Amino acid sequence: PTCYSRVLSLSKEITESFKKLQTSKTVDSCVETLPRLYLDIHNYCVLAKLRDFVAYPGCDRLVEVDELKEKARSLYTILISYCRRDLVFLTDDCNALEIPISPPIEHS
């Protein structure tokens, strides 16, 4: 796989895991305080978003959150180290990372 395909799949995996964590029936109250984690690897602000999420001090007692933080840390490392020259950021709209990304509507 290319660097691009790896960061794209990992960002989707992280976003899905975050959504599942938020909607889990056994969700801990601290999950509600976590920074939002909607990722777009084409948005330069994704780097700050990942840093903030990994550094967030809450929910350290939850295994699911620790695993999610580890994935976010991995994505950040891949973005700034391995793929640094391969990626093109199309925007730097930080507000766009504060709302969920809606899947495209498929027309029949």
CA–CA gap between residue 97 and residue 91 (Å, rounded): 11
Comparison of pLDDT for 94 and 70, the residue scoring more: 70
User: In terms of C-beta density within 10 A (0-12 exposed, 13-18 middle, 19 or more buried), how is residue 35 classed?
Assistant: middle
Contact 87, 3 (CB under 8 A): yes
Choice among 9-18, 48-57, 98-107 with the minimum mean pLDDT: 98-107
Confidence of residue 101 (pLDDT cuts 50, 70, 90): low
pLDDT digit string, tens, across residues 68-90: 999 999 999 998 888 877 777 78
CA–CA gap between residue 68 and residue 85 (Å, rounded): 26
CA–CA gap between residue 20 and residue 87 (Å, rounded): 28
CA–CA gap between residue 43 and residue 71 (Å, rounded): 18
Tokens describing residue 88: 């093109």
Cα–chain center distance at 61: 20
pLDDT of residue 70: 94
Contact 34, 58 (CB under 8 A): yes
pLDDT digit string, tens, across residues 23-58: 887 667 888 888 888 888 888 889 999 999 999 887
Structural domain boundaries in the chain: 3-97
